[in-house]
Homo-oligomer: A and B are copies of this chain.
Amino acid sequence: MHTVKACLIAAALSAAAGAVSAQQKPEEAIKYRQSALFILGQNFAPLAAMAQGKMPYDKDAAASHAAIVEYMSRLPWDRFGPGTERGGNTKAKPEIWSNLDDFNAKRDKMQSEVGKLAQVAKTGDFNALRTQVGETGKACKACHDDYRNK
């Protein structure tokens, strides 16, 4: 019962997102996903710097950055809809749309790692955070390597 309800909610949200995307100009969709990923990157950067010892570890700052990374990681995906392969200054490779299952799998892997990152950042366990920053970075890179132009 709960599963059915959850699926109905997910379907409704997905339909709503699709409706928004359909009305949106490709340039706006591209700017939207780039904006979300830029904010994500700007919050991941200090976590990476802390993990690498280039910035002093600060538990509260790390937790705040990781929470923003997690939130932003949910936003870009409904803006990769049909018609957004070209336009603006997109660096998205056309392979995204010919390998959608793999692209979505890499997205899911990233979101899973980012979810763990946000949890770990709250604990104040620096070693665990450092490990999870590494896992998250790998998940980001896996998708960028295959699907983002330099």
Contacts and interface: CB of A to CB of B under 8 A. Distances in A.
Nearest to A32: B42
Nearest to A16: B61
A39 B36 contact: yes
A9 interface: yes
For the residues of A in contact with B, the DSSP-based class is helix
List the number of copies, as a whole number: 2
A97 B34 CA distance: 28
A20 B32 contact: no
B39 A32 contact: yes
A73 B34 CA distance: 18
A34 B36 CA distance: 11
Interface of A: 9, 12-13, 16-17, 19-20, 23-24, 28, 31-32, 34-36, 38-39, 42, 46, 55, 58, 60-61, 64-65, 68, 71, 75
